[in-house]
Amino acid sequence: MDTVKVIEIKKSVFEDNEKDAAGLRKELKDKGVYLLNLMSSPGSGKTTTLIRTINLLRDKISIAVMEADIDSDVDAIKIKEATGIQSIQLHTGGMCHLDAEMTRQGLDNVDMKGLDLVILENVGNLVCPAEFDTGACRNAMILSVPEGHDKPLKYPLMFSVCDLVIVNKIDVLPYFDFDLEKCKEYVHMRNPKAQVIPICAKTGEGVEKVAEWLLTEVKNWKNK
């Protein structure tokens, strides 16, 4: 089994997260690197979705991944084995979210040379990560079919801060009471501009749309 770099993230000592986040975003802009913050509940399929998306994009752009987890290293190893890209593990030591300073601690351990895109897989949690700007260019989240289409009603902030909502596990739609149209309606109540892309990360269905969205984002970021 591959080993990956594991970074023990320390709690931020800086108080002004918004200022830190804006500063980090400016630095990323100067370097021409796009940072995506990917959030979701535990078990929604973040890692599998990432592997599929990265494999569609890795010949076009240079990508690295930072996997945030409370304790384990399984996700970073899985990504490295399945895609071959630069993948590091961030241990949050029990912390339920990442802020801009914690994200920077992770980025300090990424080789940024020639890089176009860094994807941060945030801690599995629909509440706290939404409250902290990580300094990413965009926030995206995954809602999986078994969680139910009512989640934008119950976790309003998460859906307000995300510009892309990936609806995963559409292969099991026949077995759950999940209404995709209602889901889109609820998402747009929180963020009218959010894009909703239904996928099945297991089979790859729809993932090319996520890859396209991300590629356009990265190109626009570099040319803006």
Binding site for its own copies (CB under 8 A): 41-43, 69-72, 74, 94, 96, 123-128, 131, 144-148, 150-151, 153-157, 169, 171-172, 175-176
Minimum distance from residue 207 beta carbon to its own copies (Å): 18
Q: Percentages helix, strand, coil for the chain, rounded to the nearest 5?
A: 45, 20, 35
Burial of 6 per CB tally in 10 Å (0-12, 13-18, 19+): middle
Distance of CA 39 to the CA centre of its chain: 5
Minimum distance from residue 56 beta carbon to its own copies (Å): 22
Contact, 6 vs 73, CB < 8 A?
yes
The tokens of 185 are what? 């309606």
Q: Which is nearer to its own copies, 27 or 179 (CB)?
A: 179
Minimum distance from residue 22 beta carbon to its own copies (Å): 22
Q: Which is nearer to its own copies, 18 or 212 (CB)?
A: 18
Give the separation between CA 12 and CA 163, rounded to whole angstroms. Answer: 26
Contact, 188 vs 156, CB < 8 A?
no
Q: Which is nearer to its own copies, 67 or 116 (CB)?
A: 67
Minimum distance from residue 151 beta carbon to its own copies (Å): 6
Strand 63-69 with 86-91, pairing: parallel
Q: Which is nearer to its own copies, 61 or 96 (CB)?
A: 96
Minimum distance from residue 41 beta carbon to its own copies (Å): 5
Q: Which is nearer to its own copies, 95 or 117 (CB)?
A: 95
